[in-house]
Structure 1
Amino acid sequence: MGNIIKYNSWEDKAPFGALKLNQSMRISISGNEDYNIRDISWVILKENVELSKISLIRESKKYYQGEFDGFSEVGVYFYYFEVDIEIDGQNQKKYYGKSIEDGSSCEYLYENLNKYQITVYDDYEVPNWYKEGILYHIFVDRFNNGNRTKKPNNPKKNSFIYGNWSDTPMYIKDNEGNVTRWDFHGGNLKGIIDKLGYLKKLGVSIIYLSPIFEASSNHKYDTGDYKKIDSMFGDEEIFKELIDKARKKGISIILDGVFSHTGADSKYFNKYGRYSEIGAYQSQSSKYSSWYDFEQYPNEYKCWWGVKELPNVNELDSSYMDYVIRDKDSVIKKWTSMGVKGWRLDVADELPTEFIKVLKQELKEVDKDAILAGEVWEDASNKISYGERRSYLLGNQLDSVMGYLFRQNVILFLKGEITSSHLNNRFMEIKENYPAEAFKSNLNLLGTHDVARIKTELNEDKDMVKLAVGIQMTFEGIPYIYYGDEAGLCGNVDPDNRRTYPWKNEDEDMIELYKEAINTRKKYDTLIYGDTQFINTKNDDVFAYMRYVEEEKVLVMINRSENTQNIELNFDENALEEIDIKNSSKKYLESIFRENNIFKIDLKPKNFRIFNLKNLIEV
């Protein structure tokens, strides 16, 4: 049996994608004239609860339409279609939902329905300074030591200091896998100050710092004191100097907020008695006791992923929320008032919805242009965490999320594991689910401290890395650079991905590519503000998309294969003007051939081309 109806949410729903509160929508469906269709119903649900069932209006023998006035509450909604048909004199009901491949409709058994999603949000706007930015993520201990002697500041007791800056990081662990001596290279805040000129020339406008507060480890995700800079990194005076000097260069600072747990070695828990205050581990009468959950006091307590050095906190505990968010001198207010322009929430999935909402509200009261980003590895529009449907992108929580899906999609394509068509569909699904502001604020990352470096992930194939950077710097969203990726650093997963920046041993060719790609992004408004149209090249190895805003259009084409690919596109006369980014176009590629309005474009092996378009007819 063929399909009884034809519908594609990417083409037949207006408006496309997520909806604002109370925004109406319209759908159009084609019916197969070979069937006696008696009725098509559009069924709308909130989770599994039916909210509305709309009988579509038959506009002609073939076409049906339906309208919905809009949703009065934010949330994630779903829909599918019920089709009543007559077959051999018998009435039958068929169910149509979303294909797992793209936005088209597919017939299902009711119990296996894959429903369409509608994200409904309260309209919001992310500050332009952020959307226009190039973000650079610094793991502080491994970036640069700004001391004249190059010796680390205030080494911690029982720690391991590397003899050379270029030494490969490693862990010193006991038989049970616990770290017994933390290792340090000696990077600090002065080191970042010294390299602000380099970052400015690279094109960076946002620095995101891994945690900088006092802690035992080199990574600082085991917070010891939220209100004190770790002495190995510097102090408040030096941090304020960093903020001020960065601001003068047009660079904003974002901090890492680790609020789902603290360190066991902290003023709050004080398991080892190293702090003068009475911690929750030491006494149940401690003012911090309500922050933690003890199953059997004092040695059995809830901790992050079973790591005893990271006791979980009760984020909604009133005194904890006061300390971190609400007090006049709260953690958020202290550092934001100093000039910090935003926060990235570690493991946002493990923070209660109410905690994030209150934090966002209080943050905006200190600085209305501050941003709140979150660590989310999956589709942030429909994520379910601990049995709860999360609502990160609905207007009163996160401005932005970590783009791990972007990274995954790009890598799968460049490694030949999916086709260009599949890549189109994967990106379209995110674009459909995310509010427009969230998609434009997505942090398009290729590497972080939690994954293998992009060069290692792509088998140290430099040409493939250049393709990844070409996509990253021309895509909708915010380019996110993990320190050292631009210098050609390799590294597998933690701790190998946390090697030191290779000062005086950089891959200068890669740095120049980053600089020129960033300059190109800033030159064309459409690469920052433009919408995206994905193009079906009819070639598995060639991924293409057009960025457009008003009259400006830019076409990006990427060939991952080992062979030259010949692509034909239909454009108006004199439509293409090539944009020259180092190693992408004119240096290696042949000219464009045109026959009538058909442009024949040769894409050399493992290379990309970028064009400025005018008077686009059809793609």
Structure 2
Amino acid sequence: MLRRGLLFVIPLWLALALAVPVTFTYDPPVGLEVHSVSLRGSFNQWGEIPMLQQPDGTWSVTVELPPGPVQYKFFINGRWPQNMCDDPTFGTPGVDAEGLTCRDDGQGGMNAVRVVEAGPDTPPADTLAFQHDPQEVRYLSVAAGKLSVRFGAAVGEVRNARVIADQSYPMLKQLEDETGETWRAALPVSTQQYRIQLTDRNGKERNFGPFRVPAHPFTALDWVSKSVGYQIFLERFWNGDPSNDRKALQSDEYTFNPVWQKDPSLPKPYLSKWSDPPGALHCCHQYFGGDLAGFMAKLPYLKALGTTLIYFNPLFDSGSVHGYDTHGYLKVSPKFGDTALLQKALEAAHKNGLRVIFDFVPNHTGLGFWAFQDVVKKGRASKYWNWYFIRQYPFTPGDSRAYEAWAGVASLPKLNTGNLEVRRYLIGVAVNWIKFGFDGVRVDVANEVIDPHGFFRELRQAIRRVNPEAYLVAEVWQRDPSWLQGDEFDSLMNYAIGRDVLLGYARGLSSARRTLSGLSSIYSVYSEAVAAQGFNLIGSHDTARVLTDLGGGGLRDQPSPEALARLKLASALLYALPGVPVYFQGEECGFTGEKGTYPVNELYRYPLQWERCNPDTLEHYRRLGRLRTGIAALRSPVFRIYRAEGNVLAFFRGEAGASEALMVFNSGKDTAQLPLPQGGWRDAVSGKTYRSEIPMGPISWRYLQRGGL
């Protein structure tokens, strides 16, 4: 399939001559009744190739394809699987066990990828698959004051390459996975036109272009890549002012939920002391008193960690501990303080060199939101009737059958963002808080908002008119570049990196080769501007604590030395990537917390017991903060693969040359040796210089800088 920017320099007659038979087989999971299956892929413009059912119950078809990577999906019972690598309906862990990996399908899902191997009688081909289009941000963007130019090719097809503009700029192979390679060069931002010249594997010179640089290429915010992020779930962070604790009960959902009020078997919201155990409503309605005064008291602590970016979970008036059931978008939650105190907190943060982003919830409100309450009282006569999706009236708030709600949770009625009044109101809310002094916004469940791409294009334009340096992050869990084209968000919450790639490696379950390939797959579809602004995290308020994921046990358990070592490995990996490392409050203390059983769940949100903070783990995070400040390459947008052997993973950061750094990790329990690039490499922690090779202890990491004696 010839997509924009994807140029296959191969004649049709030669493609047919090189074709080899490839069989695709679908083996349905037990219990799934299958009526029809077809094969659709990049090799037939996503048209239909019927698959036939075999006597053993599988479905298959054989097609002739030229060598190289192909993307495809099975079309089953008239439906597309969302993710060919893991779909709960059509096949887990994979819809097609023969697919090597998966790639983004541009629609929020994943295509399977298979590399077609040349047959034994296939003659060598004088062909080249070249991918580049300056209009696509993955190939051209601006970060750190440089114009990043990249192209894609099949693995092993290119010997060397360069960009020809005002002068010749060498290109280096940056990324590689099962489906191809990415090559890169950095040019002056003043460049207006360029050509790409390369030598293929057969020694033949190829020329492409000229290409023109777009008038306004996607440009990264430079301050983001220089940041260290810390996520604060304020109600469980620190209680700096006990006098406002009781205000939490006054605005709680219970006041607005007659269904709850009429059920005597359900406990009511309540207050607890900071060290009380998790109770019956720990998730959402057991209040411990964390507030803005507590945040201000901990500012010196945060600064000592090297923190320069704060991400607050919802701060505004709501009906719960978590705050995602908004009662007032323009009112600070009384349990946290008031608008004047929030202003003081922002000013204090800025004075200490911290930028702050707030959590914005445009998809749904709480029961106490004034527009929803107006609908409850007036029904169709309410001018806010079309702000929601009401199924029946009259209704009782708290009855999820009566209106559409997020995930069917009755306390979270869904907003109609297709309604222009709703859209204008919500965008006005976000703009208000940017004017107030926030430095950016994280958007909750961005992919579930109605007309999301249209909504967020408007949101970006409105926010950037007020503050051109505002940072916009979307809660989208999977890899999906459709949000990151320069007109909506600067980054997604990078669970696709942290949980899908880094976590498995840090646990010792994924090989270094698989990990490096996974990172390459993501960075190949994201522009360098996006990589520079990556909101990188492994854990958050929505996951178990990272230490628990790494075998550290549940709440109040004593983690093993191995689990703590793996936490250090995981965090060192996180800090080594381009973008901003972000971690959830308390990770730096080695706290644990698992997902419990409803309603006593989300034990990773238990109040931080500061006196139990592990000093060794805390010092590790402080060291990482100092390294981010001291090593210029760690603030660069550039990521480039080096080696992956067994459990040892290594990649470069920064532009090639005297200032680049080499990040090295060993997730195995045995010692290992890594061959080094030519020259001397100084360990940024120990100060010792290594040449030729470097020893890696069990479950260990090193940041190496080029140079040394």
- Partners of 1:550 and 1:104 lie apart in 2 by 18
Aligned 8 A contact 1:449 1:497 in 2: yes
Query: If the length of structure 2 is used for normalisation, what is the TM-score?
Result: 0.66
Equivalent residue of 1:411, what SS? Answer: helix
Aligned 8 A contact 1:171 1:495 in 2: no
User: Residues 341-420 of structure 1: matches in 2 within 5 Å?
Assistant: 341-351=439-449, 352-381=452-481, 391-408=482-499, 409-420=501-512
**1:288 partner letter:** Y
What displacement does 1:64 show? 2.2
- Partners of 1:520 and 1:210 lie apart in 2 by 27
Q: Corresponding residue for 1:56?
A: none
Q: Give yes or no for the alignment of 1:124 onto 2:224.
A: no
- Partners of 1:143 and 1:38 lie apart in 2 by 61
- Partners of 2:131 and 2:587 lie apart in 1 by 47
Aligned 8 A contact 2:569 2:700 in 1: yes
What displacement does 1:537 show? 3.6
Residue-pair matches, total: 506
Q: Give yes or no for the alignment of 1:497 onto 2:604.
A: yes
Q: Give yes or no for the alignment of 1:184 onto 2:290.
A: no
Q: Give yes or no for the alignment of 1:436 onto 2:499.
A: no
- Partners of 2:135 and 2:489 lie apart in 1 by 21
Q: Corresponding residue for 1:449?
A: 541
Q: Corresponding residue for 1:464?
A: 566
The unaligned stretches of length 5 or more in structure 2 are: 21-40, 48-122, 140-151, 155-175, 183-212, 255-267, 396-401, 553-562, 596-600
What displacement does 1:153 show? 5.0
**2:307 partner letter:** V
- Partners of 2:689 and 2:443 lie apart in 1 by 47
Aligned 8 A contact 2:681 2:690 in 1: no
Q: Corresponding residue for 1:522?
A: 629
User: Residues 502-581 of structure 1: matches in 2 within 5 Å?
Assistant: 502-538=609-645, 540-551=646-657, 552-572=659-679, 575-580=680-685
Structure 1, residues 467-512: CA drift from partner, whole Å, max 9, x if none? 0111111112210011111111110125201011222321121111
- Partners of 1:279 and 1:214 lie apart in 2 by 19
Aligned 8 A contact 2:682 2:706 in 1: yes
Q: Corresponding residue for 1:292?
A: 388
User: Residues 173-212 of structure 1: matches in 2 within 5 Å?
Assistant: 182-212=285-315
What displacement does 1:46 show? 12
- Partners of 1:487 and 1:498 lie apart in 2 by 14
Structure 1, residues 254-291: CA drift from partner, whole Å, max 9, x if none? 11000001112221212xxxxxxx34564322232111
Structure 1, residues 393-448: CA drift from partner, whole Å, max 9, x if none? 11100011101012221111122322100001100000001111112211111210
Q: Corresponding residue for 2:702?
A: 609
Equivalent residue of 1:546, what SS? Answer: strand
Change (3 A) 1:168 1:602: same
User: Residues 477-492 of structure 1: matches in 2 within 5 Å?
Assistant: 477-492=579-594
Change (3 A) 1:331 1:151: closer
Structure 1, residues 440-464: CA drift from partner, whole Å, max 9, x if none? 2111112101100001010111000
Aligned 8 A contact 2:682 2:689 in 1: no
Aligned 8 A contact 2:528 2:637 in 1: no
**1:506 partner letter:** C
User: Residues 116-195 of structure 1: matches in 2 within 5 Å?
Assistant: 123-147=217-241, 149=242, 152-157=245-250, 160-172=269-281, 182-195=285-298
**1:165 partner letter:** W
- Partners of 2:667 and 2:132 lie apart in 1 by 45
- Partners of 1:530 and 1:358 lie apart in 2 by 27
Q: Give yes or no for the alignment of 1:319 onto 2:421.
A: yes
Change (3 A) 1:372 1:214: same
- Partners of 2:590 and 2:360 lie apart in 1 by 28
- Partners of 1:301 and 1:438 lie apart in 2 by 38
Aligned 8 A contact 1:153 1:233 in 2: no
User: Residues 96-111 of structure 1: matches in 2 within 5 Å?
Assistant: 101-103=178-180
Equivalent residue of 1:146, what SS? Answer: coil
Change (3 A) 1:46 1:182: farther
Equivalent residue of 1:536, what SS? Answer: strand
- Partners of 1:375 and 1:143 lie apart in 2 by 22
What displacement does 1:535 show? 2.3
Structure 1, residues 594-616: CA drift from partner, whole Å, max 9, x if none? 5xxxx23211111112211249x
Equivalent residue of 1:365, what SS? Answer: helix
Aligned 8 A contact 2:244 2:336 in 1: no
Aligned 8 A contact 1:254 1:340 in 2: yes
Q: Corresponding residue for 1:63?
A: 126
- Partners of 2:153 and 2:308 lie apart in 1 by 44
- Partners of 1:171 and 1:47 lie apart in 2 by 55
Aligned 8 A contact 1:153 1:231 in 2: no
Equivalent residue of 2:370, what SS? Answer: coil
Equivalent residue of 1:233, what SS? Answer: coil
Structure 1, residues 494-541: CA drift from partner, whole Å, max 9, x if none? 520101122232112111111111111111111111411222242x21
Q: Percent identity?
A: 27
Q: Give yes or no for the alignment of 1:236 onto 2:313.
A: no
Structure 1, residues 175-207: CA drift from partner, whole Å, max 9, x if none? xxxx8x811010011111111111111111111
RMSD, matched Cα: 3.6
What displacement does 1:215 show? 0.8
**1:237 partner letter:** A
**1:568 partner letter:** P
**2:249 partner letter:** K
Structure 1, residues 201-255: CA drift from partner, whole Å, max 9, x if none? 1111111110011111011100011111110011100000011111111111111
- Partners of 1:553 and 1:309 lie apart in 2 by 51
Aligned 8 A contact 1:592 1:602 in 2: no
Equivalent residue of 2:180, what SS? Answer: coil
The unaligned stretches of length 5 or more in structure 1 are: 1-18, 50-59, 82-98, 106-119, 174-178, 271-277, 382-390
- Partners of 2:231 and 2:654 lie apart in 1 by 28
Equivalent residue of 2:457, what SS? Answer: helix
Equivalent residue of 2:566, what SS? Answer: helix
What displacement does 1:304 show? 0.6
Equivalent residue of 2:391, what SS? Answer: strand
- Partners of 2:415 and 2:311 lie apart in 1 by 24
Change (3 A) 1:28 1:554: farther
Q: Give yes or no for the alignment of 1:310 onto 2:404.
A: no
